[in-house]
Amino acid sequence: MSLTFTRRRTAAVVLTAALLLPLAACGSDDTKDSGDRTSASGADLTVLAASSLTDVFKTAGAAYEKGHPGTEVTFSFAGSQELAAQVEQGAPADALVTADTKTMDGLRDDTGTPTVIAKNRLVIATGKGNPEGVETLKDLADPGLKVVLAAPEVPVGRYSRQILDAQETEVNPVSQEPNVRAVLSKVELGEADAGLVYRTDATTATGRIEAIDIPDAQNAVASYPAATLKTSENGEAATAFVAWLSTPEAQKILADAGFQKP
């Protein structure tokens, strides 16, 4: 009797184990699937972007998050040359948008294939009411005028010198700033009589400065390329965001802010 009982008990244990094993396996798969769905539902993206995109990208970021629940986009704004330095130093980020193709091209080993998402032009920014009566680029050569420009390594600074040289106009700036917003701020605060900024930046200061148009034939066109970063830990989400910047929804946001089509 004892031997029979032992054999029956052993058989029951084996049968129970055989039945539980598939259930345990199913439970493991369900947990894995659940985790995959959670990770795919969104991502925290960090985007390095040129200073001139500050206002419009805040609007674009909110629109993107609304259309992509679970995704949060954080922007870090600075001059394109500063952003390039951050990328080269391995700053944790997912995508990059610069205000010129030259800076982006210098990072080809660190980025995916860039796509131009917008263009821009320069204007002369003066104090409210244009008290010094600035009308043309040549007026900026007046030695009695306090002119501020972006530094030569900054895209807007490079564009500024390009158009001034084309007009054979020599300007001795009172300061050279690290980004376009710093140039605009100097003019707004009355620390400079005039400066060269992007048209879209001047728009953000309407009522506080005057924007003097520069004829297209004398102007420069700034291109804004966007690309993913190869070091991104959210490659798929970063690629989706960069692609979205070329969609009709994003292009309308950029156009409403004064940017030109790519």
245 shares its domain with 175: no
pLDDT in tens, 118-149: 999 999 999 999 999 999 999 999 999 999 99
Per-residue pLDDT for 24 more than 50?
no
- Whether 239 is covered by a domain: the verdict is yes
154 shares its domain with 202: yes
Position of tokens 């800076």?
Answer: 103
- The rounded distance, in Å, linking the Cα atoms of 200 and 203 is 5
Return the amino acid letter for 120.
Answer: N
Under DSSP, the state recorded for 121 is E
109 shares its domain with 136: no
Stretch 60-70: mean pLDDT, rounded?
A: 97
178 shares its domain with 227: no
Domains: count for the chain: 2
141 shares its domain with 216: yes
112 shares its domain with 65: yes
181 shares its domain with 228: no
Stretch 156-166: mean pLDDT, rounded?
A: 98
DSSP-based three-state secondary structure for 249: helix
End-to-end CA distance of the chain: 89
147 within 8 A of 173, measured Cβ to Cβ: yes
DSSP-based three-state secondary structure for 261: coil
- The rounded distance, in Å, linking the Cα atoms of 97 and 116 is 9
- Whether 81 is covered by a domain: the verdict is yes
Per-residue pLDDT for 51 more than 90?
yes
The range of the structural domain enclosing residue 114 comes to 44-119+223-256
Q: Which residues pair with 212 in a beta bridge?
A: 124
Q: Report the CATH number that the domain containing residue 233 is assigned in CATH.
A: 3.40.190.10
- The rounded distance, in Å, linking the Cα atoms of 38 and 42 is 8
- The rounded distance, in Å, linking the Cα atoms of 60 and 65 is 9
- Whether 21 is covered by a domain: the verdict is no
Under DSSP, the state recorded for 180 is H
Stretch 170-177: mean pLDDT, rounded?
A: 97
230 shares its domain with 107: yes
54 shares its domain with 181: no
Residue among 139, 154, 144 at smallest CA distance from 210: 139
* Residue 100 φ then ψ, to 5°: -160, 155
Can you give the pLDDT at residue 42?
Answer: 73
- Whether 57 is covered by a domain: the verdict is yes
99 shares its domain with 150: no
pLDDT in tens, 190-211: 999 999 999 999 999 999 999 9
Per-residue pLDDT for 182 more than 70?
yes
What is the percent of the chain where pLDDT is above 70? 84
- Whether 5 is covered by a domain: the verdict is no
- Whether 30 is covered by a domain: the verdict is no
86 shares its domain with 63: yes
Q: How confident is the model at residue 178 (pLDDT cuts 50, 70, 90)?
A: very high
> Over the chain, what is the mean pLDDT?
88
- Whether 11 is covered by a domain: the verdict is no
- Whether 246 is covered by a domain: the verdict is yes
pLDDT in tens, 32-50: 333 332 233 479 999 999 9
113 shares its domain with 235: yes
Per-residue pLDDT for 16 more than 90?
no
Q: Which residues pair with 224 in a beta bridge?
A: 118
